[in-house]
A and B are shown apart, each in its own frame.
Chain A
Amino acid sequence: MAAATDDAGDSNEMIRVVSSDGEHFEMPEAAANLSLVLRHMIEDDCADAAGIPLAVVAAKPLAKIVDYCTKHAAKSSGLTIEEAEELKRFDAEFIEVDTDMLYDLLVAADFMGVEGLSKLAVQRTADLIKGKTPEQNRETFGIVNDFTPEEEEEICKENEWAFQITKPPSRLC
């Protein structure tokens, strides 16, 4: 295989990665470099023809991540305003996913150290939580309410969004 030279600056080499369920993906080295983990492995010559195995990333999210990295790597420097706009649109469309995929992306992006994608997914999740009642949030994310009825009542009281000012015990003046 092409002996990895030290000056891997302008290489068009394709990096192969393998998902946890054994699917192979390819992306340009510039795209792989957006992932901290992949970059370090490439620097350490761990990238070979067999591909870098990613133990906790399944094929579905990995395909998305490869997509994301390829798109962003191609437009990394010297963006015109139009291109920046287009990238923004791409991001907005890219992250329109269901909560299961969003979970996979959050974990995978964090694991692989893809900073831009991490931020995107975190912001998207926050947007989903925002403005919802606790009950709606539980429903959206499949969260089990593990409070006892007494605890819940207490929390309810807390959330009345008002502090009660009690009568001062002694009124002076």
Chain B
Amino acid sequence: MEQSAPNPLLSVATYVSVRAVLPPRLCACELMFGHLRKLDRILWREDECEAAGAAARRPLSIANLPEEILSEILLLLPLKSILHCHAVCKAWRAITSDHAFLLAHHRRQPPRRLLTFVRNVGSGDDDLDVLDYCVKAFDFRTHEFQSVARFTVKDYDCTLGDNPFNLHASCDGLLLMSYNNYLHLCNPTTRIAHGRSWSSSPGDDSSGTGRATGSGWVEVRLITNDIYRLITCKLEHEALYHTNTLGCDLSAYLGLGIVADESPSSTQETTCSNNNTLFAAAAKAAKHPQHTMGPSAEAALVRHAADLLVTLLRLRRDALPLPPCLFA
């Protein structure tokens, strides 16, 4: 054996000195350094436990796993469990609230068909002041329903009609809904929801992420998972929404949905495309005349949706490299 090329992982005791003399000629050198760093962390954790005092000392357990392993584990959990993990301890909360973690978690989710259910919680006619909406997704692989979000409306005004709630679109897990001229965009995983009235004057925000393209078409550009998405909607009595991926052939629609479910308080269906991460959704305009959106309202709605998406995804607007030619 030529000049004792020692195994760099001799023992915990000699770890520090070994690190200093680690022979650089080792081919696996880089790998070893990686593992020394891991060792570093594990030892550090042990020290930390000892420092906590003998009384509070507990065996190393899942709870103090290195963060990478822990987040690998939590990534495999369904949405509801992630929410439960928020409440376990600070460390778990930090991991499951992390933006990168949520994106990674989202990418693992299979495409699902979204369904909206409306159910009245009240038992009789006079008791109808609470309304409960449930958005569920259907997993094609497991043939199971999964709750995505639930909305409860207090002080529900019966005179407003029987379908004041609409699920308009869903893109990469974000849901765009409206209720009583009030637009809600929420991220069920982070539980952040934004609401905004679409009747506010269009000039109040200089965003310009949406534009009318003539003949009633409105476009919105979204950036999710670093991919441009385009949502277009056709106005008039029924709204059509298309989603598309920007940056590739714009004429190739990935999804198109039209739903004209006229049954009163019922399931409203949305369609999803076959694309792995992309959902296209469609919704009909509300049945009642007072809820039918005019073109300007619709345009404002879509414009706000883009704004809200920017907020939800915590992107800086000027960081969005939108092609200027697409703006009016």
Contacts and interface: CB of A to CB of B under 8 A. Distances in A.
Nearest to B153: A165
Contacts of B15: 55
Interface in B120-158: 147, 149-155
Interface residues of A, number: 60
A103 B191 contact: no
A163 B150 contact: yes
Contact of A125 (B62, B151, B180): B62
A10 interface: no
Interface stretch (A25-33, A38-46, A88-96): A38-46
Nearest to B291: A173
B224 interface: no
B58 A134 contact: no
Contact of B89 (A44, A122, A145): A145
B28 A44 contact: yes
Nearest to B86: A155
Contact of A43 (B27, B38, B68): B27
Contacts, number: 176
Contacts of A123: 76
Interface in B174-205: 179-182, 184, 186, 191, 193, 195, 197, 199
Interface of B: 1, 5, 7, 9-12, 15, 26-28, 31-32, 35, 38-39, 42, 58-63, 65-66, 68-69, 72-74, 76-78, 80-81, 83-90, 92-93, 147, 149-155, 179-182, 184, 186, 191, 193, 195, 197, 199, 290-291
Interface of A: 20, 36-37, 40-41, 43-46, 48, 52-56, 99-100, 102-103, 106-107, 110-111, 122-123, 125-126, 129-134, 137-138, 141-147, 152, 155-156, 158-159, 161-173
26 contacts: A20-B11, A41-B28, A44-B5, A55-B15, A99-B62, A106-B69, A107-B69, A111-B35, A122-B69, A125-B62, A131-B81, A132-B84, A134-B85, A138-B89, A141-B63, A142-B59, A142-B63, A143-B92, A146-B89, A155-B87, A155-B93, A162-B152, A163-B149, A166-B195, A167-B154, A168-B195
